[in-house]
Amino acid sequence: MVTGKKRTFVLYPSLGVGHLIPMVELAKHLLRHGHGALIAVVNPPDTDAVSVAAVERLAAANPAIAFRLLPVPASPDAGADWVKRDLDTLRLANPVLRDFLLRSQPATALILDMFCVDALDVAAELGVPAYFFFASAAGDLAMFLNLPYLYPTLPSFRDMSEALVRCPGMPPVRAMDMPLTVQDRDSDRIKVRMYQFRRIPEGRGVLVNSFAWLEP
């Protein structure tokens, strides 16, 4: 653990602008509390121009936040479903992330996007506490964490239509309203997602974008 008044947190978003922007907002919050924030952005060769431009704009608009691009190989299976492809790319980023952390100022903690579960291995190797930042509500997190235990007892959500899915920590939800990435219980996509959901509890904790009035 880093001692002293100012602590530096390394934030590690998944691929895509939609995962980067919430991390920027979290970094702003850390800065307001007197901490340092650095965002490490995975940059595979197939990154689209929109994403690159977004990083440049966010860096220019937030000069107090340090941004670092981590060049990594593309997923070896370019034709795979995007969930698997992104996880493969993030896994390939582990050596680059490790080298980056070793060269940087010691981090108080590594804050991971929910897709960055394999970065837990880097954090464990370097002795850096790892936390997850979940940008959706606590009810969504409850559903994801319970899914590896619940789903084996059910048919695919896409086949359940109006039936209610009940998970601890959230109100009942119609099966047809569950996220698209978990609709088919037998798909390759759900296997990747289950792997993610099982690994999230390995972190030191989860920061959730919610508040008591919204989810009493």
DSSP code of residue 62: -
3-state secondary structure of 208: strand
Residue 86: exposed, middle, or buried by beta-carbon count in 10 A (0-12, 13-18, 19+)?
Answer: buried
Q: Which two tokens stand for residue 145?
A: 């964490």
Owner of token pair 């850390």: 30
Which residues fall within 8 angstroms of residue 123, CB to CB, at 6 or more apart? 110, 129, 130
Half-sphere exposure of 96 (CA within 13 A, CB side): 17
**13-to-84, 119, 129, 155 alpha-carbon distances in Å:** 16, 11, 16, 32
Catalytic residues: 19, 113
